[in-house]
């Protein structure tokens, strides 16, 4: 209690966070991009290494997952403008913003339907490639379709993968590892959805359930793996390989902007809004974006009001040494993947000079936005994926002239939803009925 009072004295925003108000925090430590990248200790060569690896595995994906053939085995998602949704946001909020509103549809990423396909796949592929090299299995004259050979499957069958997850990371790690032939265990937190556990079990993945939250699931996974030298633990809180896999998104989206003749530079700044759980996904993507666009890109994280772990960790500087439970929050949210009470200290430290700000969103708002996006643009994303949607209103209303310029591009990173069963998506859609996004502000009558 005393600690809490001291914290509130130093950081008055914590009072509002503890009351579950929607807040916006601007990061006072934001620095020039090149300095921030240098401080991370990670380089363009590290991101290129991850990117090259994903290219090497593209023939394998095209072979094993036919839905990836249209993109030659690269796991990538559409980038599109959402003008109807922009109109809905302006009409319901009475906040005008002039720029273009775009969405990056990682909900439509092939194979695992969420942003976790970026980092999660990369880490598993790096591990598999390393084992193949160590066991002299890799034939250099052949492409990576050889990873579906029986000899590879037999090698991987004697190795294990473990991961702790609220759901989506488990799906992405589980699906790919099982296809490669690994023995996989996913440690799931209490909030993980039943359909995710069932889907994984149907693919031969071992799912262990905990009554506790995400941090506990990760801890148990880590403990199990430490006792077994043949078990690789995917460490969502600390993994560079996950982070670098996410970071490849930067060069990919730079290509998409170029293909669509959309310029990003100082006069045409890019504002990006990324839903944040433990931090690796949004942190890695933001890092890749900073590499691609430098100071022309402005990155924001979005968190549920019940789980603002990264905001709490970065603002106080305590990083992973503080949890949302310590300010009286319950870490209960309908936003799968964002129900994380304690952030990654690794990501918080890397993002310290690179992140522009963090804002929080109520679950109610997420469901309301989910329904509006479905109606306006026929895009179906899961609740967490909508956390980015309020971003443009925050930046436009903040009085920053660049954010409200007609030349600004506002990009909502839609992080998941592709694997949600129709019946569950319908429930989400129903929950969004009659949600007033901005009570009292609407200029148009509600639906
Ligand atoms: C995991 C996840 C996130 C956040 O990623 P972190 O690496 O946990 O911060 C956002 N949205 C969805 C749908 C996710 O599954």
If you measure from the C-alpha of residue 276 to the centroid of ligand 1, how many angstroms do you get, rounded to a whole number? 6
pLDDT at position 440 is 67
Helices then strands, each counted (H, E), the chain: 18, 11
Residues 6+ apart with CB under 8 A from 359: 22, 23, 24, 25, 300, 301, 302, 303, 390, 391, 394
Q: What is the domain partition of the chain in residue ranges? A: 2-45+71-112+247-431, 116-240
Instruction: State in words which class domain 2-45+71-112+247-431 has.
Output: alpha beta
Give the position, in ligand 1's atom list, of the atom nearest the Cα of 107.
Answer: 13
User: How far, in Å, CA of 279 to CA of 360, rounded?
Assistant: 14
Question: Which residue has the CA at smallest separation from atom 5 of ligand 1?
Answer: 281
Decide whether 2-45+71-112+247-431 matches 116-240 in CATH topology.
Answer: yes
What is the pTM assigned to this prediction?
0.96
pLDDT at position 114 is 96
Question: Which residue has the CA at smallest separation from atom 13 of ligand 1?
Answer: 416
pLDDT at position 368 is 97
Domain spanning 116-240: CATH 3.40.50.1100 = yes
Half-sphere exposure in the Cβ direction for 373 (13 Å, CA): 29
Tokens, residue 282: 């949004």
Residues 6+ apart with CB under 8 A from 306: 20, 324, 329, 330, 331, 332, 333, 339, 363
If you measure from the C-alpha of residue 133 to the centroid of ligand 1, how many angstroms do you get, rounded to a whole number? 31
Binding pocket residue ranges, ligand 1, CB within 6 Å: 114-116, 168, 275-282, 337-338, 382, 384-385, 415-416
Question: Which residue has the CA at smallest separation from atom 14 of ligand 1?
Answer: 337
Give the position, in ligand 1's atom list, of the atom nearest the Cα of 344.
Answer: 9
pLDDT at position 190 is 79
Give the position, in ligand 1's atom list, of the atom nearest the Cα of 340.
Answer: 8
pLDDT at position 176 is 97
pLDDT at position 1 is 60
User: How far, in Å, CA of 407 to CA of 261, rounded?
Assistant: 13
User: How far, in Å, CA of 250 to CA of 7, rounded?
Assistant: 36
Q: What is the pLDDT of residues 353-372, one digit of tens each?
A: 999 999 999 999 999 999 99
If you measure from the C-alpha of residue 146 to the centroid of ligand 1, how many angstroms do you get, rounded to a whole number? 31
pLDDT at position 214 is 80
The segments of the chain whose pLDDT lies below 70 read 1-2, 440-447
């Amino acid at each position: 209690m005393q600690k809490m009072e001291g914290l509130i004295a130093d950081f008055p925003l914590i009072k509002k966070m503890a009351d579950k108000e929607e807040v916006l925090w601007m990061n006072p430590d934001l620095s020039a991009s090149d300095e921030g990248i240098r401080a991370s200790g990670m380089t363009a060569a590290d991101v290129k290494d991850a990117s090259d690896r994903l290219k090497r595995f593209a023939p394998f994906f095209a072979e094993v997952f036919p839905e990836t053939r249209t993109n030659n085995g690269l796991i990538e998602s559409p980038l599109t403008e959402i003008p109807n949704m922009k109109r809905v946001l302006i009409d319901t909020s009475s906040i005008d913003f002039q720029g273009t509103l775009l969405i990056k549809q990682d909900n439509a990423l092939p194979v695992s339907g969420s942003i976790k396909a970026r980092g999660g796949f990369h880490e598993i592929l790096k591990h598999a490639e390393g084992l193949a090299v160590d066991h002299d299995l890799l034939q250099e004259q052949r492409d990576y379709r050889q990873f579906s050979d029986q000899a590879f499957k037999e090698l991987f069958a004697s190795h294990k993968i473990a991961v702790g997850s609220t759901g989506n990371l488990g799906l992405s790690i589980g699906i790919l590892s099982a296809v490669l032939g690994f023995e996989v265990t996913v440690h799931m937190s209490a909030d993980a959805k039943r359909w995710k556990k069932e889907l994984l079990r149907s693919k031969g993945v071992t799912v262990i359930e905990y009554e506790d939250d995400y941090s506990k699931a990760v801890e148990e996974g880590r403990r199990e793996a430490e006792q077994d030298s043949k078990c690789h633990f995917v460490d969502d809180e600390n993994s560079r390989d996950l982070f670098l896999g996410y970071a490849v998104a930067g060069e990919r989206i730079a290509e998409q902007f170029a293909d669509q003749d959309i310029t990003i530079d100082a006069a045409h700044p890019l504002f990006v809004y990324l839903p944040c759980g433990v931090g690796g996904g949004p942190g890695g993507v933001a890092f890749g974006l900073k590499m691609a666009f430098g100071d022309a890109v402005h990155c924001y994280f979005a968190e549920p009001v019940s789980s603002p772990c990264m905001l709490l960790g970065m603002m106080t500087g305590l990083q992973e040494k503080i949890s949302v439970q310590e300010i009286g929050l319950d870490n209960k949210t309908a936003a799968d993947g964002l129900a994380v009470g304690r952030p990654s200290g690794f990501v918080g430290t890397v993002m310290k000079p690179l992140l522009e700000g963090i804002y929080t969103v109520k679950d109610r708002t997420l469901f309301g936005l989910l329904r509006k996006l479905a109606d306006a643009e026929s895009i179906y994303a899961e609740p967490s994926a909508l956390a980015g949607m309020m971003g443009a209103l925050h930046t436009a209303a903040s009085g920053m002239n660049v954010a409200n310029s007609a030349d600004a591009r506002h990009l909502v990173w839609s992080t998941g939803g592709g694997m949600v069963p129709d019946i569950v998506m319908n429930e989400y859609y129903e929950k969004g009925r009659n949600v007033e996004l901005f009570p009292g502000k609407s200029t148009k009558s509600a639906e």
